[in-house]
Amino acid sequence: MFDNMDFSKMGEMLKVAQENAQKMQEEAKNKEYTSKSGGGLISVSISGEGEINDISIDDSLLSDKESLQILLISATNDAIKMVEDSKKQAAAQMLSGMGGFGAKG
């Protein structure tokens, strides 16, 4: 794993990694993920930081509390998963750019 690693450059690599992490965090603030459930009856928009920005509920669901709850939970969980997957992908890209620290498949 560390065969071709020049440890004298480790500090520089860590500094670049930290800068990249900050850049990714800033970019995440500007991203928005939207998930829909119930054929679009519920829509949840969430920021790249995991904060819910908007929830849209079709009026037809207002009289069916149980369906509303189920669809809302589903859309919210899907949106949160989108954010988590994006963070994992960004971290993997950052680590693969550090020369040998990325996961090998």
pLDDT digits (tens, 9 = 90+) for 1-45: 556 666 667 777 778 778 877 887 787 778 999 999 999 999 999
Per-residue pLDDT averaged across 59-80, rounded?
96
* 0.85 exceeded by pTM: no
DSSP calls for 36-84: EETTTTEEEEEETTS-EEEEEE-GGGTT-HHHHHHHHHHHHHHHHHHHH
Fold for domain 30-83? Ybab; Chain: A; (3.30.1310)
For the chain, the structural domain boundaries read: 30-83
List residues bridging with 46 in a β-sheet.
33, 52
More confident residue, 11 or 58: 58
Question: In this predicted structure, what is the pLDDT of residue 103?
Answer: 46
Query: Please, what's the b/e burial string for 18-53 (b: 16 or more CB within 10 A of its CB; e: otherwise)?
Result: eebeeebeeebeeeebebbbbeebbbbbbbbeeeee
* pLDDT(102) > 70: no
